[in-house]
A = this chain, B = another copy of it.
Amino acid sequence: MNFASDNVTPVCPEIQAAIDAQCQGNAPAYGGDDVSATLDHAFSELFDHEVAVIPVSTGTAANCISLSTLVSPYGGIVCHHEAHINEDESTAVAHFTGGAKLLPMDGPAAKLEAATLSSYLESRVDRGVHSVTPECVAITQSTELGGVYSKAEIAAIGDVCQQFNKKLFMDGARFANAVAALECHPADITWKAGVNALSFGATKNGALAVEAIILFDTSLRQKAELARKRSGHLLSKHRYLAAQLAAYIQDDLWLKNARNANEAAKALAALLSEQGGKLLIDGAANELFISLPPETAARLRDRGLIFHNWPSLGSNAYRFVTAWNSDIEAIMALGTRLKQG
């Protein structure tokens, strides 16, 4: 059982089938094909709002192309210091935006809090061209520490952004897990809450390699497409990106996959708690940050479980990530066996 990350998973059967279905016959390149043509409409339906959809192969590309449409090269992007864009994407944000600066903040479970954000923006003295003006706030849903923003929390952040005239970007590499956890409509935690652009992740949740840039302001489309091309992210056989995305949202596959991951996380959390584990973050999605007695961690690894130490949360801290293909019954069976010693 591999809980190292959700990107260790293979492609899920439905998306594999969609890719295979594209392996017959020719089709126009660069998005001129029939499947690519359906995406804007399909996602507009999904979000109950007109959107522009720009598929790319990686989360870094989705995040940074999105940000490059929202901020100037002179601007700042407020984010949590644990944010993927701040900690895990090298210098990609500066590269794509032409130099914009990340302005990291703190907050529980890697979440920004509206009140803290408001204070920060309030207190930030504008020293004209000398200082960097925050132009955008970036949040992650669900967060890098497994936190899930509630509808109200995002709406509150959206209100602060509106009040201070900042754009709001959401890194949704695990957006599906958040929606599944909240049992909400995707609109509730995006455009209705003030989100301007979203990285709608699919790779970790069953796709081969595709993330959709969702622009709730469709006037940003051209800029995003230009940025995609010049950064080498426009695939010639674009239909293979489109096919993954189309299959991913058909019949709520994205939510089905995410629910399995979330439920597996719950089952695993129960198992680990029984073994003396103590949750470090109150997460609701598919990542567990937990402290374990070292001997327990060792025993689990002996049983074949793969998971990471997470030293930034303490010396006995570990991370377990479940996924669309986590075998819940096997987790529960293991729990039973462990209880029986």
Chain A residues with CB under 8 Å of chain B are: 2, 4-5, 7-11, 13, 16, 19-20, 22-30, 56-62, 64-65, 72-75, 87-92, 94-96, 98-102, 125, 127, 129-132, 203-204, 208-209, 225-237, 240, 311, 325
Contact = CB atoms under 8 A, between A and B. Distances in A.
A291 B166 CA distance: 35
Nearest to A129: B229
Most buried by B among A24, A26, A102, A204: A26
Contact of A236 (B7, B96, B227, B234): B7
Copies of this chain in the oligomer:
4
Given A19-B19, A74-B226, A101-B102, 16 more contacts: A4-B28, A7-B30, A10-B24, A56-B232, A58-B233, A73-B98, A90-B226, A91-B99, A92-B230, A92-B232, A94-B99, A94-B101, A129-B225, A129-B230, A204-B236, A208-B240
9 contacts: A9-B237, A10-B26, A13-B23, A57-B233, A73-B95, A89-B232, A92-B229, A95-B230, A231-B231
Contacts of A225: 129
Contact of A209 (B203, B229, B236): B236
Contact of A29 (B5, B91, B232): B5
Given A4-B28, A237-B209, A61 B10 contact: no
Given A20-B16, A26-B2, A230 B89 contact: yes
Contacts of A131: 87-88, 90
Contacts of A4: 28-29
Closest 8 CB pairs of A and B: A61-B232, A60-B232, A129-B229, A7-B236, A94-B99, A98-B98, A90-B230, A2-B26
A240 B207 CA distance: 11
A2 B26 CA distance: 7
A234 B22 contact: no
A131 B85 CA distance: 10
Given A23-B10, A26-B2, A209-B240, A127 B88 contact: yes
A90 B19 contact: no
Contacts of A132: 90-91
A304 B56 CA distance: 32
B11 A22 contact: yes
A237 B203 contact: yes
Contacts of A226: 72, 74, 90, 129
Contact of A19 (B5, B57, B208): B208
B95 A231 contact: yes
Contact of A89 (B88, B89, B130, B204): B130
Contact of A234 (B8, B20, B58): B58
Contact of A74 (B24, B60, B230): B230
A234 B129 CA distance: 9
